[in-house]
Amino acid sequence: MFIPLLLFLLLSLIAIVILLGLAAPFVVLARRCRSERLPAKTPEGQYAADAVRLVDEIQDALKSCPISYEQKTALLRQVRDVPGNVNRAVCKLNRLRRIKKIAKRSEEAAHVLSEIEVMERGIVGELRRTHETLLAVPVTLMKVDVARGERNLDRIIAELGETNCRLNNLAESYREVRAAQPPNYS
């Protein structure tokens, strides 16, 4: 009776270890998803919420807008990318700010502070420009007329494309700074 009980406990322990091994990737994935959520109280978090609402507004306005199919397609292609890019930029900004707090406490990381502040100002400035450009799209769509409005719309489509590119570049530069920063175990 003692040997079957010991064997049962050993097999139970092995099963628990296997289950924990299977659960580990899900825990890592959950941590990554949690770190990409936006804090609700930051002003930059409002940019992300506004981007989603403005994209919905733009999509509704495009349904009745008298512009060419090609322009609608190009505008929708650029506009749909904006909320995701804004969300990633805000998450990177929040991570930068957390790193900045750590760097302020560490004397060895003081040289990184100026680089972090430059990136922080760049991301905030790009978020403002993106927000202003998105705000201009529904207004332009309301004013659009066949003779004059298409030039303004082409300019806005190009601006949104450039904004998406700059937001992606800022997110990549964040990764480079984070990779260059020595780990702080204090």
Can you give the pLDDT at residue 180?
Answer: 66
DSSP result, 34-77: HHTSPPTTSHHHHHHHHHHHHHHHHHHHHHT--S-HHHHHHHHH
Q: Which residue has the higher pLDDT, 29 or 122?
A: 122
Sign of CA dihedral 27, 29, 32, 36: negative
Q: Which residue has the higher pLDDT, 30 or 38?
A: 30
- The C-alpha atoms of residue 108 and residue 182 are separated, in whole angstroms, by 9
Can you give the pLDDT at residue 33?
Answer: 54
Domain limits of the chain?
A: 1-35, 42-180
- pTM over cut 0.75: no
Nearest to 112 by CA among 101, 126, 122, 124: 101
Q: Which residue has the tokens 């984070």?
A: 178
Find the length of the chain. Answer: 186
Is the distance from CB of 117 to CB of 101 less than 8 angstroms? no
Q: Which residue has the higher pLDDT, 83 or 32?
A: 83
